[in-house]
Amino acid sequence: MNVNIYYGGRGVIEDPTLYVINKLTEVLEELRATVTRYNIFEQKSGIAMLANTLKNADAVILAVSVEWFGIGGMMQQFLDSCWLYADKNKLKKIYMFPVVISTTTGEAEAEYMLSKAWEILGGTVYPGIRAYVENNVEFESNENYKRMIEKKAEDIYRAVNQKAITFASSVNSGSGSITGSAMIDLTPQEGEQLSEYVSNDTFVRKQKEDVEELSQLYRSFLEKGKDDDSMEFVREFRAAFHAPDDDFKATYLIRMTDSGRNLVLEVAGKNLKCYYGDSDKADVTATTTRETVNTITRGRATFQGGFMSSKITCKGDFKLLRTFDQVFRFE
């Protein structure tokens, strides 16, 4: 997955927009996305050529700082170059996520301008980040804001990776006349995109089947009665444990919201401690439901798959998150 970030601010060190895009970059790279950043203020003599950098992009983040009014001249020049020189058929497949940080007023208007411009170009707009910042130090040290930015990075990764479908817009529904081609004639690229949407329908149908299967498992569980609470899932995780390298250490904390219990998995080389409780040294904290954990331990889903489908939310070390399915292999 290739994500391009186009920063339209002035590059001053106290600009809170830089903090936001740096945090987005950090999380996306942990998720193994390739992130390329273009500081438009460094490309003043070559802004017209920046449209060529869109060729290999799956998604773009347009980041601007509102210091007095609007999206700024440099971002406007970049969008002008996209209108004049970019491949419109390619733009139709690129997701755009606006990031608008204002130190004055007008963040809503700036976000609207970015979204409207991208829709006119024929691209797809997905919700981004819009914020007013009165004090950049307080903003950057706020843990709640940090978690919100990290969550947005995860949402970006999921949306692009799963080719999320959005509702049609009246703005780009007329893009055929804008680009000079009739809307009824589909290009090969558009046909390929439609086939991907069909595959997404298949995915949705499979998800519904999984939900039905989970419902049956849950009903069966109620009929048989609950297992010993102190050992639920513990035996399964111990049986599925595949010892990693001797120097590997990780602590996973799984919070099950519907049962109100926390399962702790402490891995130290070939040793595993599995128990219910809490841990303030967890490297990865996952929040999900008992049904999802039950599905994983029965081998009907993976931990990574649950994260990708939003059934599991995580925070912590994303590198260790990717090792979970290697350490615990359920048949």
In the chain, pLDDT over 70 holds for what percent of residues?
A: 84
More confident residue, 213 or 123: 123
CA distance linking residue 19 with residue 25, whole number of Å: 10
pLDDT tens string 230-267: 678 999 999 999 988 888 999 999 999 988 899 999 99
Domain membership of residue 208 (yes or no) is: no
- 75, 8 Cβ separation under 8 angstroms: yes
Choose one of 144, 168, 192: the last residue of a domain. 168
Domain membership of residue 209 (yes or no) is: no
Domain membership of residue 184 (yes or no) is: no
pLDDT tens string 264-285: 999 999 999 999 998 888 999 9
Residue 141 pLDDT > 50: yes
pLDDT, mean of residues 119-133:
94
3-state secondary structure of 49: helix
What average pLDDT does the structure give for the chain? 85
In this structure, the answer to whether residues 121 and 37 fall within a common structural domain is: yes
Structure tokens at 286: 């996952």
Say if strands 59-66 and 2-7 run parallel, antiparallel, or are unpaired: parallel
Amino acid at the residue 258? D
The CATH number of whichever domain residue 241 belongs to comes to 3.30.1050.10
Domain membership of residue 70 (yes or no) is: yes
Distance, CA of 226 to chain centre = 36
Residue 172: pLDDT band (50, 70, 90) is low
In this structure, the answer to whether residues 239 and 162 fall within a common structural domain is: no
- DSSP class of residue 227? P
Choose one of 114, 133, 168: the last residue of a domain. 168
Domain membership of residue 99 (yes or no) is: yes
In this structure, the answer to whether residues 163 and 24 fall within a common structural domain is: yes
In this structure, the answer to whether residues 23 and 105 fall within a common structural domain is: yes
Choose one of 168, 183, 206: the last residue of a domain. 168
In this structure, the answer to whether residues 130 and 255 fall within a common structural domain is: no
More confident residue, 247 or 131: 131
pLDDT tens string 182-207: 333 445 454 444 444 444 555 556 66
In this structure, the answer to whether residues 146 and 243 fall within a common structural domain is: no
In this structure, the answer to whether residues 157 and 241 fall within a common structural domain is: no
Domain membership of residue 81 (yes or no) is: yes
CA distance linking residue 316 with residue 193, whole number of Å: 34
Enumerate the H helices of the chain as residue ranges: 16-30, 73-85, 88-91, 107-120, 136-141, 143-161, 175-179, 188-224, 234-240, 290-297, 303-308, 318-321, 324-327
In this structure, the answer to whether residues 25 and 111 fall within a common structural domain is: yes
Structurally, how many domains does the chain consist of? 2
Lowest mean pLDDT among 139-148, 168-177, 242-251, 313-322: 168-177
Domain membership of residue 197 (yes or no) is: no
Range of the domain at 266: 234-327
Domain membership of residue 199 (yes or no) is: no
CA distance linking residue 146 with residue 4, whole number of Å: 21
In this structure, the answer to whether residues 158 and 247 fall within a common structural domain is: no
Nearest Cα residue to 157 out of 24, 319, 312: 24
The pLDDT of residue 244: 86
